[in-house]
Structure 1
Amino acid sequence: MEQVDRQFEFHRLARSWPQHRWWRPLLTALLGVAFYLVLTILLLIVGVVLALTSSTDVGPYLDAAAAIDLADPVIFAFTLASLILMIPALALAALIVGPRPVGLLSSVAGRIRWRWLGVCAVAALSVFLVSLALSTGIGFLFPEESAAAPVQQDTTILLVLLALSLFAVPFQAAAEEYVFRGFLMQAIGSWLRHPAFAILLPVPLFVLGHGYDPLGQADVAVFAVVAGWLTWRTGGLEAAIAVHAVNNMTIFVLGAFGLVDVNSTDGSVSGLVVSVATMAVTTVVIVRIADRRGIARTRTAAPLPAVQHPPYPAPSVPAGMHAPFAHAGQGPVGVPPWAQGLPQSQGHAYDPSQYDAAHYAPAAGPTPAPPAVPPSARPVDAAPPAPFSGSPSGRSSVPPAASGSSSGSSSAAQRAPVAAPSPVPGRDSAAGRHPSGPAHPPGPGHPSGTAHPGGPGYPGPGSSAAG
């Protein structure tokens, strides 16, 4: 399973991209169609401008364009250019939406394997030449009554048609392969795992793009199935591009010499049989060469990079000095503090031979208790009494509520000094007990001017502050 070994065949290459989502192929298709329409309109504008600036009569060209006469060099060139524009349109869409790298549309190697493409082209050309020779021999032995005589072409037209057939047709074939065997196979393969779906489902679209009769469309369908299978079997578009290019080049070169009608849409049973046999032999030859050369069929997804943590810096110890001592109970004996807890894989393994282990041994005996903190010195006597804040002259320390009492105890209470306020409420800062407070204020149960009762911690009116 690809979740384990991360091996992706050609039709599953879109899933090898980490950012792949199920909707990306749909968006790539829509964007590619939009780019193709824009490029086609630009090509039409260029053609119209050239026709208007030319002194020749454009009437025949318009008639040829309406009939799509591929024997006309101008119409042939315009048709090839309009098909080749599918390559930049698809490339731009893939650059924006994916899959990336764009070379995944070419092969499992992420690029065109040019040497393998050349080998496939030579193999396909060899088989097609043999097939053409056999077909020509059979035609001489069993001539058809309806066979048309070769048409003599003008030399200039012949050279232009040959140049277009040899140098432009390969790009036209590659454009169709990138769309139908490259993008569509990978789009379907990203949703359906089995390669049969990716090979067979694009076939109807490819057949509809060729306006032939049923026999001719059957021939095209056979070619589409073989090209799709070769793409999956060899892990790239090189074999399909080579076979497609050689097939089209053969037809258009023969058409340039007038040996075949390039505008014919009629098929034949004999032509279908010859085509099927030629494709079968070509497939066998290419597959055997691919197996012999060890052509890659799958792509191995690159694993995620491991997170690399920086190593811990080891402090340098000058010669003749020891590392800091370890305190008792901290780490193993003989290991300095900077080496404790460091992983061995980081290159900081502790070497006890470099240090004196006796320096790092914990102290013998029980751990000494911390020294007792001596009590702080405190004043013995309380601060002198302060005058009552309500007396403006400072002569009387009796509160206003206690003044005016005629009893002896009240007089004694009035003459009793009032202790200074303690920093801690309710405590005497010197004796650590409740100070002798002022007389009770008048109220229920407390006659006016009565002093606090004597008792432990509550000295009477005549007691000293120290008790």
Structure 2
Amino acid sequence: MSADHSLPTATPFHRMATLRPAWTGRIRPLLTLAAAFTAYVVLISVVLVLTILVLALAPGVNVALGVTSGDPTSALDVALALAMGVMWLPAGIIGVRFGGWRPLGTAWSIAARPRRGLLRSLGPWSIAMGVAVVAAAGLAGAVTTAIAGGDGGGAGTSAGAADATGSVPQLLLVTLIVLVLAPLQAAGLELALRGVVMQALGTWLRSPLLPLLAAGAVMLIGRELSAAVLLPALTLGLASAILAWKSGGLELSILLVATITAASQLVSAVGAGTGAGAGGAALSAAAAAPGTSSAALATTASGSAALAGGLTAAAALLLLTAVMVARISARQGVRLREPVRRPAGEPAPAPVPY
């Protein structure tokens, strides 16, 4: 009897693109990646052009002012950086749907849809993990600044601290922008840089090791070349990739990245010019979309405080990821080094019609 491809073997998340032979062509993973990244370039070009046009038409506004300054208290800068990051969401959708020519749900989870039960049981843990990491980064920055006598190692940081903090209306506007756009950016980054990348490599490779490493390493692209930013960025990429592989979907990693993005951005803005703000700024730059102004340290962040925040955040991510892996194993009834898989007897999702 010939094998029935509609009844695949138990499938981990990074192998979801192998459920049907039509999704596993030699060039299909390359087409998926190419479609996603091409769509992203086109979409951010549109965002940038529209931004420049709006600023050019606005009376008394400098077109270049605040757009690439890296100021966490600038609503314009924060909005543009997050809007560019949000474009990963439609780009990832285009990559999966038109490059991979398969249902979008296959890139979300092993169930080919968001799993509400998982969100109810483990979602709060993922959010708490993000809050703890941001708190650790801010605390490390504050302690480092206190030990250094208030300067934190940044030239002129103390002198400019008073001018660094935005007004209350300005900070409220930044908060609103972050709360609206950060979850969308997190969903886009996880879909495109974790789901698409891991499943593209998973089409060729059974082992999850290389897909996990690639999904983590892609976070290093388009980011400030400093240890304060690169180390937590790499650790966050690996942590979210491990959570996606272990849990069988993107739900928990999206919650983690959304929480870290929003909380670190707000700590960086509210605490601009302080040690806590510098620690938050390092993590904010690590979690930002590649190539945006937010992917570099804030201009108000001092060097040693940011480094302390970044290193502490990386260590906290490693520790708490291990805790989450153990929690997922206990909750889902799988061994510690095994992922949650799509059941062998569950039919593959319906193919996309041509």
Q: Where on the TM-score scale, by shorter chain, does this alignment land: which range?
A: 0.7 to 0.9
C-alpha change, 1:33 and 1:138, in structure 2 (3 Å) is: closer
2:136 counterpart letter in structure 1: S
* TM-score, normalised by the number of residues in structure 1: 0.57
Query: Corresponding residue for 1:281?
Result: 319
Deviation at 1:170, TM superposition (A): 2.0
Query: Corresponding residue for 2:263?
Result: 250
Query: Corresponding residue for 1:128?
Result: 133
CA contact (8 A) 1:64 1:72 kept: yes
Alignment of 1:24-423 (within 5 A): 24-55=28-59, 57-59=60-62, 61-98=63-100, 100-114=102-116, 116-117=118-119, 118-125=123-130, 127-128=132-133, 131=136, 135=140, 138-139=143-144, 142-147=147-152, 148=158, 149=161, 151-257=164-270, 258=272, 259=274, 260-261=277-278, 262=281, 264=297, 270-294=308-332, 297-300=340-343, 302-303=346-347
CA contact (8 A) 2:13 2:244 kept: yes
CA contact (8 A) 1:14 1:99 kept: no
Distance 1:69 1:215 in 2: 17
C-alpha change, 1:35 and 1:129, in structure 2 (3 Å) is: closer
What do the CA deviations read for 1:370-395 (whole angstroms, capped 9, x no partner)?
xxxxxxxxxxxxxxxxxxxxxxxxxx
Deviation at 1:80, TM superposition (A): 0.8
Q: Which has the higher helix share?
A: 2
Deviation at 1:291, TM superposition (A): 2.7
User: What percent identity do the matched residue pairs reach?
Assistant: 24
SS in 2 for 1:300: coil
CA contact (8 A) 1:77 1:164 kept: yes
2:54 counterpart letter in structure 1: L
Deviation at 1:285, TM superposition (A): 3.2
2:13 counterpart letter in structure 1: F
C-alpha change, 1:10 and 1:138, in structure 2 (3 Å) is: same
Question: Larger radius of gyration, structure 1 or 2?
Answer: 1
Distance 1:138 1:45 in 2: 42
Distance 1:173 1:108 in 2: 19
Deviation at 1:73, TM superposition (A): 0.8
1:298 counterpart letter in structure 2: R
CA contact (8 A) 2:134 2:264 kept: no
Deviation at 1:248, TM superposition (A): 1.9
C-alpha change, 1:203 and 1:287, in structure 2 (3 Å) is: closer
1:123 counterpart letter in structure 2: A
Query: Corresponding residue for 1:13?
Result: 16
C-alpha change, 1:230 and 1:303, in structure 2 (3 Å) is: closer
What do the CA deviations read for 1:27-53 (whole angstroms, capped 9, x no partner)?
122222332233223323432342243
How many aligned positions are there?
301
Asked which structure has the greater RCO (Cα within 8 Å, sep 6+), the reply is: 2
C-alpha change, 1:129 and 1:63, in structure 2 (3 Å) is: closer
CA contact (8 A) 2:69 2:77 kept: no
